[in-house]
Structure 1
Amino acid sequence: MKRFLNVTNIPGFQFDTTSLLVFACCFFQEKKDIRLLASEIIINLVEKQNIDVNLFSDKLAYLITNKYGVLLRLIDGIIVLKDVSPLHNSALFLILDGIFKRIELSDKLPTNFKKLVENYLDVMAKTNQKPSAESLQFFEKYKENNSLKPLIKQLLIS
């Protein structure tokens, strides 16, 4: 994975759907050094505008839906984008919104899902963005969830 990540950081590297899926998998890896390297690379890719954040969020949603790995690892890996710059905040908003648009969960939410929603709300406020209609539709299903109720209430009135 380290070699793959190093290749993705070479100027001129172009992601295709498969390499973007592999890149998304790096954020769930058990080895912290791989996750940290992936975090550094996502910062660089956003800065250079060399990543399709919508397609990236699609891959992340796919992995979360299929319980690929520990959600907290992903959250910690992508939240590094927050407050780097306005461009990075916008990219993080698009990534998180894209995840909520496409994710399909059973009734039981993954551990630390609340942290994902909290970061979404935070970056939404920082970018002055509104949740997409698809994301709102997703949250509507969980508005009675005790741990998410206050967060979803904020989302629905935004």
Structure 2
Amino acid sequence: MVRFKHRYITVEIASPLVPDSKPLNLRPKIFHDSVLNKIQQLHGDFGIASIRNGFLTKYCNETTRIALIRARHGPHRFVTSSLPFITKIDKLDVRLNTLHVGATLKHSFKFIQKHQRAYLDSMWSKLKTDEERKQLEMAVMDFKKTDVAINIENIA
């Protein structure tokens, strides 16, 4: 039995047209397909074939604009080299910044939690009521925003 190593790539999605206080209308499936299309465009069939097995969008939070991608170790370099070239996701102008590349999901989520806590602290000063603050905290610290359907399709 062979053990496959994975890398988890934490990506920040920056959109200059949408203010920071509003969430992006971004589904993990659309994000996933945009990354695959750019890898196809830049690295061709070899790039797609090397990352296809084990490539998943694990997490996508529209409020904090953070996404987590899983790729196999080695071909993850195709993914990380393609991310800066993605300028459009669906009809939205974006810029993708790679924040962290980790070996385990646990450390990637620790990094995301620390990053989102800093985001939450900066946004709290702009909110007026405690109700708005609680809603923002629930949205920011929600780690269950994963589209399971696309992951099941890609595992099989």
Give TM-score, length-normalised by structure 1: 0.25
Give 1 or 2 for the bigger CA radius of gyration. 2
Q: Which of the pair is proportionally richer in strand?
A: 2
Task: Kindly indicate which of the two structures has a greater share of residues assigned to helix.
Answer: 1
Q: TM-score w.r.t. structure 2 length?
A: 0.25
Greater relative contact order (Cα 8 A, min sep 6): structure 1 or 2? Answer: 2
